């Protein structure tokens, strides 16, 4: 009897291990040994935030691909650069990757700065950037960048929409960064959404170099808002909410946030005070929703990323960008793997790719703007974790009209 139980236990353990084993690329189990294929990635890590989760996850996935046959036996050499939120460094990083290293594609980028500086260069060099943690308008309004994440505009509009439709918000104050194509762009769209509904919206913008969260909080309160929507990098958002907690404002206002606060470490950092109070828009589906990609992403991260690496939306997004890129490369003629133009065409040909991490299909296409991901999920901070309060829903804003037209033309809608 004891032996049978032990045997059954071993079987269950093996099954669990098998489930947790990552699956990547050709999944051959044999390490790739050929000439490396160079792929680049640029992330921003300095004040006011660390966006390296996307490139870390993309690197983990590429390492997994390399351990599983690579691309036709050739490993991916993933070269990453930190722009430190500095336009000069961002331009230098892109020049190094595109002109010196001659990468065939850029995958997993995450920055406030890089895309704004380099969008013209990407077009000029005919390279496609499959970004993952985009936060500026250029990510979504240029021909050679496509991002797997939504960026602050859809996430902010989506959060405001939920607060209006389900929490009765009438007057929303958006707290953003005073970077024109980030804070004013996304909070401005939220104001437009509120005005379209006959409601009130306003923005409070912080200096990213020296953000004063207390002043922002006071300005937000002075606006007469009933809902405060935090649209800041996670570290800064937590500091803002701590200031609100010190003032005892948790129950006086309704609270919402765009996606940066959807991070596993956030509920603990916020503490019990915010339990059930803080509603957060998740640009990708919740990590506990289950599904092949949700499981595989964590397995890849556990096997190939440092233990302390963030497991957040940007990490999911980096994983997915790397996965879609790898699949496009696997389908490409092996003779053209080093041909940047052929790789760009292969990426632009991606259409209708699906993942349980996304609410809709992923596509690229030949267009002047790209925003394949524009539907999300709302969660609330609950019991030291997150609880889904509204599953996949489309956002309601005139901003998405040209994107919906594109999807119709591609037969995706």
Partner 1 sequence: MQITRSGLVGLILAALAILVLPMLAGGQWLKIFTSTTAFALAAMGAGFMYARLGMVSLAQVGLMGIGGWVTLRLNHAFNLPFEANLLIGAAMTSVLGMILALPALRMRGLYLALITLMVAGGLEIIFTAYQFPNGGDGFWGVGTSFSATMRRPFLGQTDAGFLRYALVVALLGFLLIEGHRRSASGRAWALIRRSEAAALASGVNVTLYKTWAFGLSGLLAGLGGGVLAGSLGLLDASTFRASESVLLFALVVVGGARFWLGAVITAVLYRVAPGLLNNWGVDADLALVFFGAALLHAVITAPDGLAGQIFGLFSKEAAHDRA
Phi and psi at residue 173, in whole multiples of 5°? -105, 125
> Between 322 and 361, how does the x/- string for binding to partner 1 read (CB under 8 A)?
----------------------------------------
Closest distance of CB 394 from partner 1, Å: 22
If one asks whether residue 42 binds partner 1 (CB under 8 A), the answer comes out as no
Q: How far is CA 142 from CA 102, 123, 146, 369, in A?
A: 21, 8, 8, 5
Q: Name the one range near partner 1 by CB under 8 A: 53-61, 92-100, 217-225, 290-298.
A: 92-100
Regarding 126 and contact with partner 1 (CB under 8 A), the answer is no
Report the SS3 class of residue 228.
Answer: strand
Which residue, 182 or 332, has its beta carbon nearer to partner 1?
Answer: 182
- Taking the complex as a whole, the smallest distance from the CB of residue 93 to partner 1 amounts, in Å, to 7
The pair of three-digit structure tokens given for residue 184, joined into one six-digit string:
């004013």
What sections of 258-388 are H helices per DSSP?
266-270, 292-304, 313-330, 340-348
- Angstrom distance (rounded) from CA 286 to CA 272: 21
- With CB under 8 A as the contact rule, the residue among 32, 89, 204, 347 that binds partner 1 is 89
In the numeric block, the tokens 């194509």 are attached to 181
Q: Tell me whether residue 47 or residue 249 sits nearer to partner 1 (CB atom).
A: 47
Containing H/E element for 205? Answer: strand 200-206
What backbone phi and psi angles, to 5 degrees, belong to 204? -125, 120
Read off the tokens for 15: 């099954």
Contact between 243 and partner 1 by CB under 8 A: the answer reads no
Asked whether position 150 contacts partner 1 by CB under 8 A, the answer is no
Pick from 27, 92, 167, 170: which binds partner 1 (CB under 8 A)? 92
The answer to whether 165 and 178 have CB atoms below 8 angstroms apart is: no
Residue 120 near partner 1 by CB under 8 A: yes
Instruction: Provide the token pair at 113.
Output: 């700065």
Out of 7, 10, 13, 99, name the contact with partner 1 by CB under 8 A: 99
Query: Would you mind telling me the total number of residues written for the chain in this entry?
Result: 413
Q: How far apart are CA 28 and CA 70, in angstroms?
A: 9
- Residue labelled with tokens 């050929």: 34
Stretch that binds partner 1, among 20-28, 173-181, 254-262, 301-309 (CB under 8 A): 173-181
Residue recorded with tokens 């990098």: 233
Asked if 86 touches partner 1 (CB under 8 A), the answer is yes
- Using the rule CB under 8 A, is 207 a contact of partner 1? yes
Residues 110, 97, 88: CA angle, nearest 5 degrees: 65
Q: Which is nearer to partner 1, 91 or 221 (CB)?
A: 91
Task: Report 290-329 residues binding partner 1 (CB under 8 A).
Answer: none
* Part in contact with partner 1 (CB under 8 A); list of ranges 94-102, 163-171, 247-255, 299-307: 94-102
**Residues 6+ positions from 111 with CB-CB distance below 8 Å:** 42, 43, 44, 51, 83, 85, 90, 133, 134, 135, 136
Residue of 105, 107, 119, 127 interacting with partner 1 (CB under 8 A): 119
Interacting residues of 195 by C-beta distance below 8 A, sequence separation 6+: 201
398 is an interface residue for partner 1 by CB under 8 A: no
Of residues 125 and 312, the one with the C-beta less far from partner 1: 125
Nearest Cα to 270, choosing from 385, 159, 155?
385
Alpha-carbon torsion, ordered 87, 338, 365, 370, to 10 deg: -20
Among 188, 250, 361, 402, binds partner 1 (CB under 8 A): 188
Helix (H) or strand (E) holding 14: helix 2-20
Q: Which is nearer to partner 1, 86 or 167 (CB)?
A: 86
* Interface stretch with partner 1, choices 53-61, 184-192, 266-274, 291-299 (CB under 8 A): 184-192
Judged by CB under 8 A, the residue of 12, 88, 387, 413 near partner 1 is: 88
Q: To the nearest whole angstrom, how small is the minimum distance from the Cβ of residue 28 to partner 1?
A: 32
Q: Can residue 376 be called a binding residue for partner 1 (CB under 8 A)?
A: no
CA geometry: angle 228, 231, 232, nearest 5 deg? 125
The reply to whether 137 sits near partner 1 by the rule CB under 8 A is: yes
Of positions 23, 27, 84, 167, contacts partner 1 by CB under 8 A? 84
Is residue 255 a contact residue for partner 1 (CB under 8 A)? no
* Contact residues: partner 1, CB under 8 A: 81-82, 84-89, 91-93, 95-96, 98-100, 113, 116-117, 119-120, 137-138, 141-142, 178-181, 184-185, 188, 207-209
């Amino acid at each position: 009897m004891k032996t049978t139980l032990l045997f059954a236990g071993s079987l269950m353990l093996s099954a669990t291990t098998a489930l947790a084993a990552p699956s990547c690329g050709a999944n051959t189990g044999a390490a790739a040994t050929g000439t490396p294929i160079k792929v680049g990635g640029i992330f921003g890590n300095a004040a006011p935030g660390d966006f390296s989760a996307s490139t870390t996850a993309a690197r983990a996935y590429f390492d997994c691909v390399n351990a599983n046959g690579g691309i036709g036996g050739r490993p991916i050499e993933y070269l990453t650069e930190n722009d430190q939120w500095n336009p000069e460094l961002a331009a230098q990083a892109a020049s190094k990757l595109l002109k010196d290293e001659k990468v065939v594609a850029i995958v997993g980028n995450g920055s406030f700065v890089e895309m704004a500086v380099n969008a013209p260069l990407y077009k000029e060099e005919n390279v496609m950037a499959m970004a993952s943690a985009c936060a500026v308008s250029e990510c979504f309004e240029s021909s050679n960048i496509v991002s797997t994440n939504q960026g602050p505009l859809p996430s902010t509009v989506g959060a405001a929409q939920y607060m209006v439709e389900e929490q009765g918000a009438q007057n929303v104050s958006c707290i953003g960064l005073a970077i024109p194509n980030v804070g004013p762009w996304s909070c401005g769209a939220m104001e437009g959404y509120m005005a379209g509904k006959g409601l009130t919206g306003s923005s409070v913008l912080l200096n990213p170099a020296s953000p004063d969260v207390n002043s922002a909080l006071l300005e937000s309160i002075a606006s007469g808002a009933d809902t405060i929507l935090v649209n800041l990098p996670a570290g800064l958002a937590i500091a803002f909410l701590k200031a609100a907690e010190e003032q005892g404002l948790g129950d006086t206002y309704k609270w919402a946030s765009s996606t940066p606060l959807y991070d596993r470490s956030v509920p603990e950092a916020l503490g019990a005070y915010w339990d059930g109070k803080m509603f957060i828009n998740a640009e990708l589906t919740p990590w506990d929703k289950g599904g092949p990609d949700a499981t595989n992403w964590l397995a890849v991260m556990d096997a190939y990323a440092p233990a302390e690496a963030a497991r957040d939306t940007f990490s999911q997004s980096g994983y997915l960008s790397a996965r879609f890129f790898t699949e496009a490369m696997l389908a490409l003629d092996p003779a053209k793997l080093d041909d940047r133009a052929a790789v760009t065409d292969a990426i632009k040909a991606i259409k209708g790719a699906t993942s349980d991490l996304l609410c809709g299909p992923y596509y690229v296409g030949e267009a002047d703007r790209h925003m394949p991901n524009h539907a999300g999920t709302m969660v609330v901070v609950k019991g030291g974790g997150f609880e889904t309060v509204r599953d996949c829903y489309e956002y309601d804003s005139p901003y998405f009209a040209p994107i919906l037209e594109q999807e119709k033309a591609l037969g995706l809608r």
